[in-house]
Amino acid sequence: MLAAEAGAARNTLLAYRADLEAARKALGGPVSSASVEALKSLGEQWSDLAASTVARRSAALRRFYGFLFDEGFRSDDPSSTLPRPKLSRPLPRILDPDEVERMLEGAAEKAQGERPVALRNLALLELLYGSGLRASELVSLPRRGVRPGSPFLILAGKGGKERLVPVSDRAHAAIAAWDAVHPGGKWLFPGGKAHLSRVRLFQIVRAMAADVGIAPDRVSPHVLRHAFATHLLSGGADLRTLQALLGHSDIATTQIYTHVDASRLVELVNARHPLARRGD
């Protein structure tokens, strides 16, 4: 159902499968026929897990039992007994613009030697920060996915939903340099028998941070995506535009980035709001 009707991406399907498997182990038997009493025990069994993990597993089970009830496989929906931990959304980790620029300058300096690995790494970094791609979206780009001179890239993101993302002149130049030494194949960033893995991308990004004196544990592909969003917002982008560029289905997800721009918003209210001018 998730694949055929909801159009869930492969990673989403794998996550649901893993959560249902974890529930099966905790229950000691089939999840589909679990009793209300058995489900009540999950809260205690999962008490040592992070609240976000418990919330995700419970959400997967609620979706599963809702499906069973709707399709007539169960006469009841026992999901009301599942744990509902309180969650507080953490603020995204970000880098300052000068820190990102240091990473870009360091990668560009290495790429001047025209070593294939250095040219590839610069192209990866330019797309991560300049386009705000998710790690999985970046590593799975096809060889000709970025068209020379085109200011946008059409991307199939989560759930197969297409969106336009910007491609800067700097990113185009880095991709062209990488393409000149590209080993060939289906993927823009090949690795092993397929494309570069997300784990390998994570390692590459952290190594580039360490090369310019930035603590590696502060940097990841997702942190660079956060930096893309935060710096765009600081530069004047509105939330709806940012939502479209990031591929968020709910603008509430995008609103988390407003915390970094509080000072600019206060200045905007003081300068533009009619009440701010009453004392003039």
208: Cβ contacts below 8 Å, ≥ 6 apart: 103, 106, 107, 121, 125, 219
Domains of the chain: 10-81 (1.10.150.130), 97-265 (1.10.443.10)
Contact 219, 81 (CB under 8 A): no
172, 195, 231, 248: the active-site residue: 248
16, 65, 129, 257: the active-site residue: 257
pLDDT, tens digit, 9 for 90 and up, residues 60-78: 999 999 999 999 999 999 9
Would the pLDDT of 267 be above 70?
A: no
134, 163, 172, 231: the active-site residue: 134
195, 225, 226, 231: the active-site residue: 225
Highest averaged pLDDT of the listed ranges 27-41, 83-97, 157-171, 262-276: 27-41
Residue 279 is predicted with a pLDDT of: 54
Active site residue 225: yes
Active site residue 134: yes
What pTM did the predictor assign? 0.65
pLDDT, tens digit, 9 for 90 and up, residues 193-241: 889 999 999 999 999 999 999 999 999 998 998 888 888 777 777 777 7
CA distance 177 to 166: 19
Contact 212, 105 (CB under 8 A): yes
62, 74, 143, 158: the active-site residue: 158
- List, as one string, the DSSP characters of 237-264: --HHHHHHHHT-SSHHHHGGGGGGGHHH
Active site residue 257: yes
Active site residue 40: no
Active site residue 65: no
